[in-house]
Structure 1
Amino acid sequence: MSPRPPLPLGTWGKISRKKHSNGRWRAATRYRDTDGITRTAEAWGTSGAAAERNLVTSFQDRQAPTSSEISRNTRLSELSDLWFDEIENNGRAGRRTIDGYRDTYRRVIKPALAGLRLHELSTGRIDRFLKNVASEHPATARHSKIVLTGMIGLAVRHDALHSNPVRDVGPIKIATKDIKALSVNDVQKLRTVIGRWQEDPTHQGRPRATDLLDVLDIFLATGARIGEVLAIRWQDVDLEAEPPTITISGTVVMEKGRGAYRQDHPKTKAGFRTMKVPPFAVQTLRRKQAVEQPKPEDVLFPSSTGTVRSPHNFRRQWRDARAGSPYEWVTPHVFRKSVATLIDQEYSSKHAAAQLGHSGTAITEKHYIAKASESPDLTEALQKFGKEPPPHPERTSG
C-alpha cells in the first residue's frame, strides 16, 4: 500500500469541529505551510460554522515561519526602508538616481500607499494610483512605477508575495517631444550672443562669468553631459596625442548635505570613453593651459573658489547669458543633441551613440537625433520610377 501523498503547499485537510464546555466551538485541521511542513491549525467561534470560517480566513493571511523580516503583512513604509538600504549598499545605482527615488517616494508614493500592507497592494489599486498621478504628471507616474517595481520586487525575492502586481498595470503614455538641435549656423549666432554677454562690463566681476564660451567649445567638441564636462581634469586631456584627446572618466553629482563633488566614474559603463578633439577645441585648451598653468588633478572649469563647479550654478549662469536672445530655449543638454544630430548626418547614428557614450543606437536615435526637415537629394534613384522614353521608330529607306 503506497503512502498517502502530502498535501499541496498552502492547502489543508478535513476540518473537524468540536464544542467545548465554555460554549465556544473549535475548528482544527492539518495545514501544509509554504515551507513544506504540515502543522496543526485551529480557530474558535461562537458556532461550528463560525469557527470554520475563522479558520479558513486565517489561511489567507498565514505566513510560513521564515528568517526574513519581510512578510505579506509588512507595510510598504517598512519595505521602503529595506529597499533603500539595499540599493544604497549594492552599488548598482548612482547617488543622483537614489536621491531621485527617495524624492519620488516621499512626495508621491508615501502619502497614498505607505500604510498599506503588501497583500493589499493589488494590481488594480496600484493601477488606479498611477493613473491618478499620470493625469497631471505622466513622467512622475512613470518614475513612481519604477520605484514601486523595485520595492515590491524585493518582497517577491523574499517570498512574501508570489508575483509583482506592478508588472500588470496599464502603460503610462508620455507625449513625445520634438528633438530640437542647433544647426552650425545657429551655433555661430549663439557664440556671438554669449560673447557679447561676457564682454559686458557689468559681468566682468561675476565669478566664472567669462569662461562660458570655453565651456561651450568643450560641449560642442565632445557631446558630453554637463556633469561630465565639469568633471574633466587636465590629466584627462592629452594635447600631445595626434589628434589630441579627452577621456571622460567621471561626472559631477549633487548630494544633499555634501554639495557638488566629482564621482570617479561616468553615469554609465559605456560613458567611460576617450574622444578625439577637433582643432577649435584644441586651440581653446592650449590657450587655457598657457594662461592658467594648471596642475594635472585640476578640473578644466572649476568654481570661483577652485573647487568642483556645481552644474546648478553653471545652468544659472547660462540662463543669464542667453536671456532675451532668440536662444533662450537652449540648455546645456541641447549641445549634446546637436552633436548627435550633426554626427548622424555626416556619419551614422552608430557613430553618434559612441560619441555620446550610449551602449547602443536606440536611445540616441529616439532622444538625441533631430529629424531632418529636408530630405537628401535622392532624385537619381527615384527617377527610376519614371516612364522610360519611347523608343525611336526605325527609319525606313524610301
Structure 2
Amino acid sequence: MKDSQAPSQSEVTPRMRLSELGSLWFDEIENNGRAGRRTIDGYRDTYDRVIAPALAGLRLNEISTGRLDRFLKDVAADHPATARHSKIVLTGILGLAVRHDALHSNPIRDVGAIKIASKDVRALSTKDVKKLRVAIRKWQDAPDHQGRPRASDLIDVLDIFLATGARIGEVLAIRWQDVDLEVSPPTITVSGTVIMEKGRGTYRQDHPKTKAGFRTVKLPPFALKTLLRKQASEHSGPEDMLFPSSTGTVRSPHNFRRQWRDARSGSGFEWVTPHVFRKSVATLIDHEYSSKQAAAQLGHSGTAITEKHYIAKAADSPDVTDALEQFGE
C-alpha cells in the first residue's frame, strides 16, 4: 500500500510492469549512443525471446532476487551463455528503476553466479595454414566453382585475415582508400565494420566495434603481393570496397561465412571459422613478441581479453633441467 500510494516525481514507479520499464530502457540506450547497433539488437533479441515470456508482466515491486535467481538458473540449465546475457539485460533495465528511485537496490545484484565451461583457445599453426591454403585453392579452382560470385577471392580474404588479425566485419569493411601501399611496410587502417541491421540491411559503419579498434596495421610481404595483384587486375577506385559483394556493394558476413563453410568442407579444417584466424594471429604474435603487441594488433584496449580468449598456450614448466640432470649417469 505504501509503495502504490507514495508520490513520485518520476514516470518510473514500483507499480510499473517490467515490460513498460524495458521499453523506457531501450529508448534510453537507443538515444544515448553508448551501445552499438548490433549490441542493442542483441539485447532486444534476448529480451523478446527469453526475458519477456517469463517476467514481462511482473510489477517492479514483485521482482525479487529469489525470483530472478530461479529464472536465470532455469535458463542456464540448457543455455548458460543465454542466461548470462539475460542477466546483463536485466541489470541494465532494473538499474534504470534504481536511478529513478522506484527500487531501493538492484535485485539482480545478488543472484548466483552463472558458470560457463571455459574452452581452450584453438589456433592454426603455420603448418596448418599451408595445408588450409592448398585445400581452399583446390576448391576455388574446381570447375564447379568457376564463375560463381566471389568464389575466386577466398584466398585473398584469408591473406588479409592472417595479415591483420581483424574481425570479419572489419576486413569486409576495408576500402581501397584505407590501404597504403606506398609506405614501407604497407599499411591498412581499420576504420569501420560491416553491420547487418533489420530494416536496413547490410552497410558499412564508419567506426570499428570499439574505440581501440580504430588502428593502422603494418602488412607483411605476402599481403602486399596479394594487394598489388588485386590492384592491377581490378582497377578499383579509392571508395570501392577491397572485398565487395558480387554487385560491387558491401559484402555480407553471412554470405561470406556460408561460402567459407562450403570451401572448407571435407578439408579436415571444418573447425576453422573466420574468428580462428584472429586467434591464430594473436597466438603467433604472443609467441614471437608479447601479449601486449598481440592486443594492439587485434585492437584490444588491454591484454586481459587477448590472453584469456585469443592466445593458445601450452602450460610451460620451469627450467629445472640442472636439477634433473642429477638423475643421469
TM-score by length of 2: 0.97
Q: Does 1:383 align with 2:322?
A: yes
In 1, Cα distance between equivalents of 2:2 and 2:201: 51
Q: Does 1:93 align with 2:35?
A: yes
The structure-2 alpha-carbon separation of the partners of 1:291 and 1:171, relative to structure 1 and needing over 3 Å to count, comes to: same
In 1, Cα distance between equivalents of 2:38 and 2:133: 31
The structure-2 alpha-carbon separation of the partners of 1:280 and 1:115, relative to structure 1 and needing over 3 Å to count, comes to: same
Query: What is the CA-CA distance between 1:270 and the residue it aligns to?
Result: 0.4
Q: Which has the higher helix share?
A: 2
1:23-42 equivalence runs, <5 A:
none
Query: What is the CA-CA distance between 1:318 and the residue it aligns to?
Result: 0.1
1:209-224 equivalence runs, <5 A:
209-224=151-166
Q: Does 1:84 align with 2:26?
A: yes
* Match in the other structure for 1:33: none
Q: Is the 8 A contact 1:63 1:71 kept in 2?
A: no
> 1:284-324 deviations in whole A, cap 9, x for unaligned?
00110111111111110000000000000000000000011
* Match in the other structure for 1:277: 219
Aligned match of 2:168 in 206, 226, 236? 226
Q: Is the 8 A contact 2:245 2:251 kept in 1?
A: yes
* Match in the other structure for 2:70: 128
| Count of equivalent residues | 328
* Match in the other structure for 1:108: 50
* Match in the other structure for 2:6: 63
What percent identity do the matched residue pairs reach? 77
Q: Is the 8 A contact 1:153 1:164 kept in 2?
A: yes
Q: Which runs of 5+ in 1 are unaligned?
A: 1-57, 390-398
Query: What is the CA-CA distance between 1:61 and the residue it aligns to?
Result: 3.2
In 1, Cα distance between equivalents of 2:235 and 2:3: 72
Query: What is the CA-CA distance between 1:60 and the residue it aligns to?
Result: 4.2
Q: Does 1:203 align with 2:145?
A: yes
Q: Does 1:299 align with 2:241?
A: yes
In 2, Cα distance between equivalents of 1:360 and 1:205: 44
TM-score by length of 1: 0.80
* Match in the other structure for 2:197: 255
1:149-188 equivalence runs, <5 A:
149-188=91-130
Query: What is the CA-CA distance between 1:62 and the residue it aligns to?
Result: 3.2
> 1:168-196 deviations in whole A, cap 9, x for unaligned?
11100000011110000000000000000
Aligned match of 1:237 in 162, 174, 179? 179
Query: What is the CA-CA distance between 1:388 and the residue it aligns to?
Result: 12
Aligned match of 2:262 in 320, 329, 338? 320
* Match in the other structure for 2:208: 266
Q: Does 1:138 align with 2:80?
A: yes
- Please state whether the residue corresponding to 1:127 is helix, strand or coil: helix
Q: Larger Cα Rg: Structure 1 or Structure 2?
A: 1
Q: Is the 8 A contact 2:83 2:114 kept in 1?
A: yes
Amino acid at match of 2:190: I
Q: Does 1:350 align with 2:289?
A: no
- Please state whether the residue corresponding to 2:5 is helix, strand or coil: coil
Q: Is the 8 A contact 1:63 1:72 kept in 2?
A: no
In 1, Cα distance between equivalents of 2:277 and 2:240: 24
In 2, Cα distance between equivalents of 1:226 and 1:87: 26
Which runs of 4 or more aligned residues in structure 1 lie more than 6 Å from their structure 2 counterparts after TM superposition? none
Superposition RMSD in Å: 1.6
Which structure exhibits the higher relative contact order, with contacts defined as CA atoms closer than 8 Å and separated by 6 or more residues?
2
> 1:203-259 deviations in whole A, cap 9, x for unaligned?
012110000000000000000000000001111111001110110000001001111
Q: Is the 8 A contact 2:3 2:14 kept in 1?
A: no
> 1:313-339 deviations in whole A, cap 9, x for unaligned?
000000000011100110000000000
Amino acid at match of 2:322: Q
